[in-house]
Amino acid sequence: MKRLENRICVVTGAARGIGAAICEAFLAEGAQVIATDCNETALHDFAQKQGCSAMRLDVGCEDDWNAFATQYPEIDVLVNNAGFEQGMVAHDPEHASLADWHAVHRVNLDGTFLGCRYAIGAMRNRPSGSIINISSRSGMVGIPAAAAYAASKAAIRNHSKTVALYCAQQGYNIRCNSIHPAAILTPMWEPMLGSGPERAANMAALVADTPAKRFGSPAEVAALAVMLASDEAAYMTGTELTIDGGLLAGSAAVPGS
C-alpha cells in the first residue's frame, strides 16, 4: 500500500516550484490531490498534465476559503505552500511601504492562518489529519533586504506550534508541522541566475555560504512533505524541519587540508 493511499490532500501554490513538486510526490504515493493556485491558467495546465483535481484559490481571501470548504468539506492533509514573491520592490526595514508589508503578510501569514482554520474543521472528523506549513530559513534569522518576508515566515513558524498545541488540547488527531527551506531552485531564482555563460558562476555565488555548496531541489522538500503527511510522522507535531544544506548548522564547512 502506498504511503498516502485513500487520503485527500490539498496543496496551495501548486502550479509550479515546491507546490508542484509536492503534488507530484503525493500523487506518486497514492493520494487524491487537489491542487490550488491563484494563477488559474497555470494551475489547470498543471492539473491536466498530472491528472489531479484543481480549484482556483487566493489564499489571502476569506471568501475563497469559504467557497473551497463548501466544495471540499473534508480532507486529510493540507500543505500551506503559497507564498508572496517580493520582486524588485524595496522590503528593507527603512524603505518598505506599509502597503507592500501588508501584501506580503496577506499571502504568507493570512493565507496560512485561513488555511489552518479551514483544515481544522475539515480534518476534525477524519481518522487523522496533517497540516504542513511551508515556512523558510528566513523565518529563523533576520533578512535585511526582506523584512516583511522574514517576519511573515517567522510568524508561520510560531503559528504552526500554536495550531499543533491547540489541536492536541482539543483532543483532535490533527498534527501541524512546518518545513523551513533555504535556497531551493525554483522559477523565482531564474531572473538572478540568467541563461548565458554566467549562469554557473551566478549559481555558485548564491550558494557560496551554504556548506553543501548547491541549491536544494523542490523534490527534496516534497520528500519531507510526504513523510509529514504519512503515518510515519504520527508522533510528530509542532516540529520544524530545516532543509538548508547545513546553512543553519553554524559556520560554513571548510575542506580539510
Question: Percent of the chain scored above 70 by pLDDT?
Answer: 96
**Do residues 164 and 177 make contact, with C-beta atoms less than 8 angstroms apart?**
yes
Residue 254 lies in a domain: no
Q: How far is CA 133 from CA 13, 69, 130, 153, 214, in A?
A: 12, 18, 10, 10, 24
Output the average pLDDT for the chain.
93
In the chain, the number of structural domains is 1
Helix, strand, coil percentages for the chain (3-state, nearest 5): 45, 15, 40
Domain contains 200: no
Structural domain for 64, as ranges? 8-188+217-243
CATH number at residue 104: 3.40.50.720
Q: Is residue 198 part of a domain?
A: no
Burial track 128-144 (b if 16+ CB lie within 10 A, e otherwise): ebbbbbbbbbbbbeebe
Q: Which helix (H) or strand (E) holds 166?
A: helix 147-170
Q: Report the alpha-carbon distance of residue 229 to residue 107 in Å, rounded.
A: 23
Positions marked catalytic: 149
Tell me the HSE value of 124 on the side-chain side, using a 13 A CA sphere: 13
Is there a domain that residue 197 lies in? no
Angle at 221 between CA 218 and CA 225, to 5 degrees: 130
If one counts every other C-beta atom within 10 angstroms of the C-beta of residue 49, the result is: 10
What tens digit of pLDDT does each residue of 31-71 get? 999 999 999 999 999 999 999 999 999 999 999 999 999 99
- Is residue 199 one of the residues assigned to a domain? no
Is residue 248 assigned to a domain?
no
Report if residue 104 sits inside a domain: yes
- Residue % of the chain over a pLDDT of 90: 83
Q: Are 242 and 248 in contact (CB under 8 A)?
A: yes
Beta-strand (E) ranges in the chain? 8-11, 32-37, 53-56, 77-80, 129-134, 174-181, 240-243
Is residue 11 within 8 Å of residue 32, measured between CB atoms? no
Question: Residue 73: inside a domain, yes or no?
Answer: yes
pLDDT tens for 100-114 read 999 999 999 999 999
d(CA 255, CA 257): 7
Are the CB atoms for 213 and 200 separated by under 8 Å?
A: no
pTM of the entire predicted model: 0.94
Model confidence over 130-171: pLDDT tens digits? 999 999 999 999 999 999 999 999 999 999 999 999 999 999
Residue 174 has pLDDT above 50, yes or no: yes
Local confidence band at 257 (pLDDT 50, 70, 90 cut-offs): very low
